[in-house]
Structure 1
Amino acid sequence: MSSILLNFALTFMAFALVPCIYRIIRGPTIPDRVVALDAMAMVIVVMLGVFSYVRDSVYFMDAALVLAIIAFVGTIAIAKYIDKGVVF
């Protein structure tokens, strides 16, 4: 795949983080902030996947997998805390 296209994809995804950061800072409610944080984590996971392909290294995929798992568990924990007031 073209190096220019991959660099463009990474740049586009970096700009996609800006609305997420804005919503995390200025979100009117806590659920809005949680959704923005989860979206930001998923964009970073995809960026790590593309970067792993560019660098031809599997270590970035390991980091992407760990980040995806932590983001998923964190989102579930925060949603449960918002709903019931306790995590466990």
Structure 2
Amino acid sequence: MSKNIYVGNLPWSASEDEVRAAFEAYGEVNSVNLINDRETGRPRGFGFVEMDDAGAAEAIKNLDGKDFGGRNLKVNEARPRAERSRW
């Protein structure tokens, strides 16, 4: 079973490879998805990492609040996206 982890407060210069390397210290990483702005294509400073349950728990415990590229990461279990109305 795998968990989806929210990773916030990333520096805009962060690459998927750098994020993957940080999380691989705690378990197998299935995927890394850094979010870019639809209009500008610039990074939005957050993303998602999918990894095994045990590794996810360790990564959240050890990486939340830690310095990454000069910024303190916000790391927690991702919550399902809320439904947004079209109006």
- Provide the TM-score with structure 2 as the length reference: 0.26
State the structure with more CA Rg: 1
Q: Compare relative contact order (CA 8 Å, sep 6+) and give the higher one, 1 or 2.
A: 2
More strand by share: 2
